[in-house]
């Protein structure tokens, strides 16, 4: 930790153990990013990301990296919501997620919500690289402000590549200082919880679900590749999770 904030990286590496299961030769957390292996089922290894400190705070630069090898199966969750807070150090906080899944590997990335508290400024970048027949379930949920609170500034970018080709590359900025219209009818329409779910399956290359609405403020969209994207808005985190869980159940 410095006067400019905390610098920390957590690293996970999952490999097939040769006995039908998954081992974790690398499970290394730093500072506020603690990693714990929890009991899984069958060939899947499960890891929980535990926040050992408040944050990210202003000036913090945090990163989580995960690599899944051929034949390995990894599920990553978090013990609680992540809350972006102003902190004492000036400047924005940065949170980077870097995921790599090899051909034949499978990753389920299912953290709890990210809450943008009033006065905070956070940039989140998530980059996923998939090879060949890799499988992925990735969920992002963002809540703008705590109860009765205006949100902080939140910028979020998600990039997913398959064999070097972009499946998805999108960015959204919300809160004070964001480009005008972010809360208007064409973007959030006054909602304070937004989320997305991307599911990559080799079988979607030939047999992808058809595009359709899911309820009033959610939609399922097949992408140009073996992937499906679900985007959703909701008035609160609980209702957002219900919509995404329903979509995930249909897709998997």
Task: Spell out the SS3 assignment of the chain.
Answer: CECCECEEEEEEEEEECCCCCEEEEEEECECCEEEEEECCCCCEEEEEEEECCCCCCCCCEEEEEEEECCCCEEEEEECCCEEECCCCCCCCEEEEEEEEECCCCEEEEECCCEEECCCCEEEEEEEEEECCCCEEEEEEEEEECCCCCCCCEEEEEEEEEECCEEEEEEEEEECCCCCCCCCCCCCCCCCCEEEEEEEECHHHHCCCCCCEECCCCEEEEECCCCEEEEEEEECCHHHHHHHHHHHHHHHC
The residues pairing with 106 across neighbouring beta strands, listed in sequence order, are 73, 135
Check if the beta carbon of residue 116 is closer than 8 Å to that of residue 231.
no
Residue that has been written with the tokens 């097939």 in this structure? 16
Compute the Cα dihedral for 156, 243, 227, 109 and give only its sign.
Answer: positive
> What pLDDT does 189 receive?
86
Residues of the chain with confidence (pLDDT) below 70: 1-3, 52-53, 89
> What pLDDT does 1 receive?
44
CA atoms of 91 and 129, how far apart (whole Å): 29
> What pLDDT does 242 receive?
96
CA atoms of 232 and 213, how far apart (whole Å): 10
Check if the beta carbon of residue 188 is closer than 8 Å to that of residue 151.
no
Residue that has been written with the tokens 């964001």 in this structure? 178
Burial of 18 (0-12, 13-18, 19+ CB in 10 A): exposed
Per residue in 8-52, pLDDT (tens digit) is 999 999 999 999 999 999 999 998 899 999 987 789 999 999 976
CB-facing half-sphere around the CA of 46: CA atoms within 13 A: 11
User: What is this structure's pTM?
Assistant: 0.93
CA atoms of 224 and 190, how far apart (whole Å): 30
């Amino acid at each position: 930790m410095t006067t400019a904030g905390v610098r920390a990286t957590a690293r996970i590496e999952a490999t097939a153990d040769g006995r039908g299961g998954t081992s974790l030769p690398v499970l290394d957390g730093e500072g506020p990013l603690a990693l714990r292996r929890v009991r899984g089922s069958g060939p899947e290894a499960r890891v929980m990301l535990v926040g050992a400190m408040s944050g990210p705070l202003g000036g913090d630069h945090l990163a989580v990296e995960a690599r899944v090898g051929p034949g390995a199966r990894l599920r990553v969750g978090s013990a609680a919501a992540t809350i972006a807070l102003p902190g004492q150090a000036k400047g924005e906080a940065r949170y980077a997620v870097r995921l790599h899944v090899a051909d034949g590997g499978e990753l389920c990335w299912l953290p709890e919500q990210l809450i943008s508290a009033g006065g905070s400024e956070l940039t989140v970048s998530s980059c996923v690289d998939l090879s060949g027949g890799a499988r992925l379930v990735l969920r992002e949920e963002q809540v703008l402000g705590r109860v009765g609170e205006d949100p902080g500034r939140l910028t979020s970018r998600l990039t997913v590549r398959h064999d070097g080709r972009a499946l998805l590359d999108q960015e959204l900025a919300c809160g004070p200082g964001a480009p005008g219209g972010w809360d208007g009818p064409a973007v959030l329409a006054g909602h304070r919880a937004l989320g997305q779910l991307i599911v990559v399956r080799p079988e979607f290359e030939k047999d992808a679900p058809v595009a359709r609405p899911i309820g009033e403020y959610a939609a399922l969209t097949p992408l140009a590749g073996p992937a499906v994207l679900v985007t959703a808005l909701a008035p609160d985190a609980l209702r957002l999770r219900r919509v995404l869980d329903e979509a995930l159940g249909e897709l998997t």
